[in-house]
Amino acid sequence: MKFGMMYEIQIPEPHYPGIVQDTYKQVIAQVMLGEEMGFEYFWTVEHHFLSEFSYCPAPEVLYGAISQRTSTIRIGHAVALLPPQYNHPIRVAERAAVLDILSDGRVELGTGRSTTLVEMGGFNIDPEETKAMWEEAISIIPRMWLEDPFSHEGRFFKIPPRSIIPKPVQKPHPPLWVACAQPDSFTAAGRKGIGALCFNIGQPEELHRRVEMYHEGIRHAEPVGAFINNQVAALGIIHCAETDKQAREIGGPGGEWFLNKSLQLYRPWQEQGVKIPDSYKFAVNAVQGERAGKSLDDLIEGGMFCMGNPDTCIRILKKFEAAGVDQVLCFMQFGGIPHQNIMDSIRLFGKHVIPYFRH
């Protein structure tokens, strides 16, 4: 099982002048340490307008900086939003190719469509259309890297013959991923031959079922790209400390803040009386059901939180391994945990936990 670092770039109130700049510098320092300690991937979201919850609307700029301060850690979009109001697929293909060049072939392109009304409403995006927009965009991005000239005539995108340059360093192209929430999304990801990024934090037993659905899809894959990226990565909210008590005292409040903030972000679906499209129902209901009303003990013992000393973290993460997860997305910068505590957690995790799973 592999380990990646996962970031929203969270900055809870109260704020002071310069806090966002400080946090970005801290993130870069954390990733540099993470590479040194054995983390193999660095992932960030693309979110817009989500005060306190995420200050990462332009991840490709951060990736450029990270690419010049690291040498081995792979750099992943988790995810590039593909409705064209956010990102036209040509721009996604171009930016990923340039990043692949600058990073010497370390790009992983995760894709998705966003799930909050705050974001979709801000860009005037119809939630009923996002799935179809993503489907069309993901079908043409790998072709842009492989064909020259490229052209396409579709429902959302009409592109006359053009040379889409430059091309990526990785051949035939960077690995493709998609954010998966609904169980049937895992099957669909497998059928398209792309990796699954699981951000809905459920019980490891439920995760096992989703991994099985993904592999069922893989068995019938008709890949959108030139190869099958057969991998499932799942989110873990992680704080590793010298003792269980210390990990709970530092990580517990931050983790609970993260869950409560997540619930707030999904509340407009109910409050605004919006019809929830079928393709969003599971994600919206899961956040309400999975994240509400649980004690810290419930969250840790259920595997939703991985907080404790290295032995406790190993015990919890063995549930992910048993579920068939290929990579844990280690979410360590959450809810206002101080930078030094995050650095200490990265060191301990890299020294004791990552080596345990390298077998």
**What span, in angstroms and rounded, lies between the C-alpha atoms of 106 and 90?**
20
DSSP 242-262: SSHHHHHHHHHHHHHHHHHHH
Block mean pLDDT (10 aa), the chain, length 359: 98 98 98 98 98 98 98 98 98 98 98 95 96 98 98 98 98 97 92 94 81 97 98 97 98 95 86 79 67 79 92 96 96 97 98 94
Nearest to 238 by CA among 308, 343, 143: 308
Tokens 């970005």 belong to 24
Each residue's pLDDT tens digit, 8-29: 999 999 999 999 999 999 999 9
User: Helix-strand-coil percent breakdown of the chain, rounded to 5?
Assistant: 50, 15, 35
Range of the domain at 271: 2-356
Q: How far apart are CA 97 and CA 133, in angstroms?
A: 21
Contacts for 211 with CB less than 8 Å, ≥ 6 apart: 186, 232, 323, 324, 325
Q: What is the CATH number of the domain that holds 196?
A: 3.20.20.30
Q: What pLDDT was estimated at residue 291? A: 55
Integer CA distances (angstroms), 4 to 97, 169, 218, 289, in order: 21, 22, 23, 26
What b/e readout covers 251-263, taking b as 16+ CB neighbours within 10 angstroms?
bbebbbbbbebbe
Q: In total, how many domains does the chain have?
A: 1
Check residue 85 and report its DSSP letter: T
Cα angle value 145/232/293 (rounded, 5°)? 130
CA 72 to chain centre: 19
Least Cα distance to 296 among 288, 287, 305 occurs for: 305
Cα pseudo-dihedral 245, 247, 250, 254, rounded to 10: -120
Question: Any idea what DSSP says for residue 176?
Answer: E
Tell me the per-residue pLDDT of 160-214, one tens digit each, with 9 for 90 and over: 999 999 999 999 999 999 999 888 899 999 999 999 999 876 677 789 999 999 9
